[in-house]
Amino acid sequence: MTRPTRENVTDILCIGAQKASTSWLHHVVNAHQQTYAFPNSAPVTSTNKEAHFWDWNHHRGLDWYRTLMTPPEPERLAMDFTPEYSMINDAKIRECKEINPTARVIYILRDPLARAVSALRMHTLWRSKSAEADAVEIRLDDEFHELVAKARILDMSSYFANFERWSKYYDDILVLNYEDILANPVPVVERVLAHCGLSVDTMTPNARAQYEERLKKRVWVSVSYPITSEAAHFLHGMLWQKRQAAERFFDISFTEYRNVLEPSSSA
């Protein structure tokens, strides 16, 4: 029996932002029996969530990506949640559209300052020998500037510019606010499912049970290494225009930065 041809290599694309609950969302949506997460192929991919085809693995070719993403049942929806995709150039987005013409694209935005601090903590964790290292602190020094550049803080925080590039090719991108996920995750996930042509009502009993359980979890929690006031305010100034542009264009409001700038904050 000939297997039907799939319309897309990847059916559901989440393009970011990093440290905006993309891992959590992937874990929850993957509870639906109609979705498909590729096998964990680390370190080539990042677990079963981030294929990194358009950045790390583009040189491996389309056949590699198609093989990775193709589910055993062709009617299932293949997922690739790679936050770095938000920063890829027009040529790669155009190529993505060619092989994924009807993919559903999701973009989660988070307050740029809070997201940056969380990202720097994640990169600091990778550098440290122990997640409990008492001496670790993010402070305004030469290493801080190197880390900001390596983590591509400005590029990842350019929500308006990133969206503009993607929206040239995908005209129905679902944009979400991370703060809405924190405040009330259920309606946010239901919007995501509807955007992807899925519904909680079509879940099998086992899938529904997993879905309910996963809604309660936090998949990745950054270690709250302290950040000095000088470093936090430096990032605040660097990212202020990014926040303003995103709030105006997407008509959303970010509030997390207020907590980050408080001396007692552990955000």
DSSP assignment letter at 14: E
| Interacting residues of 155 by C-beta distance below 8 A, sequence separation 6+ | 87
Contacts 24+ apart (CB under 8 A), 201-204: 202/32, 202/34, 203/31, 203/32, 203/33, 204/33
Report helix, strand or coil for 77. strand
pLDDT in the model for residue 22: 96
| Interacting residues of 225 by C-beta distance below 8 A, sequence separation 6+ | 121, 124, 125, 136, 137, 138
Q: How far apart are CA 176 and CA 5, in angstroms?
A: 31
Q: How far apart are CA 265 and CA 24, in angstroms?
A: 23
Q: What is the pLDDT of residues 208-240, one digit of tens each?
A: 999 999 998 876 666 778 889 999 999 999 999
Q: How confident is the model at residue 134 (pLDDT cuts 50, 70, 90)?
A: low
Answer yes or no: is pLDDT of 62 > 80.
Answer: yes
- Residue 222, token pair as written in the block: 């950054």
Q: What is the pLDDT of residues 17-29, one digit of tens each?
A: 999 999 999 999 9
- Tokens 């946010």 — which residue? 188
Cα 262 to Cα 5, 140, 267, distances in angstroms: 54, 17, 9
Nearest to 224 by CA among 124, 155, 143: 124
Report helix, strand or coil for 130. coil
What percent of the chain clears pLDDT 70, i.e. is strictly above it?
Answer: 91
Q: What is the mean pLDDT of residues 106-123?
A: 94
Answer yes or no: is pLDDT of 12 > 50.
Answer: yes
- Residue 207, token pair as written in the block: 């899938």
pLDDT in the model for residue 224: 75
What percent of the chain clears pLDDT 90, i.e. is strictly above it?
Answer: 83
Q: How far apart are CA 208 and CA 94, in angstroms?
A: 36
pLDDT in the model for residue 250: 98
Cα-based angle 160, 166, 171 (whole degrees, multiple of 5): 105
pLDDT in the model for residue 53: 98
Q: How confident is the model at residue 1 (pLDDT cuts 50, 70, 90)?
A: very low
- Tokens 């693995």 — which residue? 57
Q: What is the pLDDT of residues 64-86, one digit of tens each?
A: 999 999 999 999 999 999 999 99
Q: Are 260 and 112 in contact (CB under 8 A)?
A: no
Calculate the CA 41 to chain-centre distance.
18
Q: How far apart are CA 145 and CA 105, in angstroms?
A: 32
Q: What is the mean pLDDT of residues 50-65?
A: 97
Question: Computed from CA positions of residues 169, 172, 177, 181, in that sequence, does the dihedral angle turn out positive or negative?
Answer: negative
Full-model pTM: 0.92
Number of neighbours of residue 112 by Cβ within 10 angstroms: 29
| Domains of the chain, earliest start first | 12-260 (3.40.50.300)
Q: What is the mean pLDDT of residues 102-129?
A: 88
